[in-house]
Amino acid sequence: MMFRSYQRTCAEWAKKCFGPDVTQDRAQRNYRFMEEALELAQSHGVTKEEVLKLVDYTFSRPPGDPLQEVGGVMTTISTMCHVYGYDLETCALVELERCEKNIDKIREKWKSKPQGSPLSGVSA
């Protein structure tokens, strides 16, 4: 299965780009995941108002089990890719290759941002 080796490859890339401390920063991993998920939804026409309704709905319920939620993310992104006609593995590999080619640029951009903030370019 592609996921396990892809996960390891991404972790190795992140360590090479940002170092182990940043790579292991759980808050930053959560913030960056949310940012990317929102950018994907935005690219498909989801509005800020729709996102805010989903935020209110989601946070009105108790937190789920993290392992089940990871499975839900993977099932949902896989199904969404199918509906839009995207190949999930190709999209993932192309993006990782782009990141690898731009590691210096990505590292410099990250270094210029305030650290510890969920928002890029905003101090905590």
Complete DSSP assignment for the chain:
-HHHHHHHHHHHHHHHHH-HHHHT-HHHHHHHHHHHHHHHHHHTT--HHHHHHHHHHHHTS----HHHHHHHHHHHHHHHHHHHT--HHHHHHHHHHHHHHTHHHHHHHHHTSPTT-SSTT---
Within 13 A of 52's CA, how many CA atoms are on the CB side? 3
User: What range does the domain containing 68 cover?
Assistant: 2-111
Q: Is residue 10 part of a domain?
A: yes
CB count within 10 Å of CB 100 equals 13
pLDDT tens string 72-83: 999 999 999 999
Q: Is residue 24 part of a domain?
A: yes
Split into its structural domains, the chain has a count of 1
Q: Is residue 123 part of a domain?
A: no
pLDDT tens string 9-66: 999 999 999 999 989 999 989 999 999 999 999 999 999 999 999 999 999 999 999 9
**What mean pLDDT do residues 79-90 have?**
97
Q: Is residue 119 part of a domain?
A: no
Q: Is residue 117 part of a domain?
A: no
Q: What is the pLDDT of residue 120?
A: 65
Q: What angle do CA 89, 19, 109 make, to 5 degrees?
A: 75
Rounded-to-integer distance, Cα 57 and Cα 123, Å? 28
Q: Is residue 116 part of a domain?
A: no
Rounded-to-integer distance, Cα 96 and Cα 69, Å? 23
Q: Is residue 118 part of a domain?
A: no
Q: Is residue 39 part of a domain?
A: yes
**Listed residue (100, 99, 79) closest to 88, CA to CA:** 79
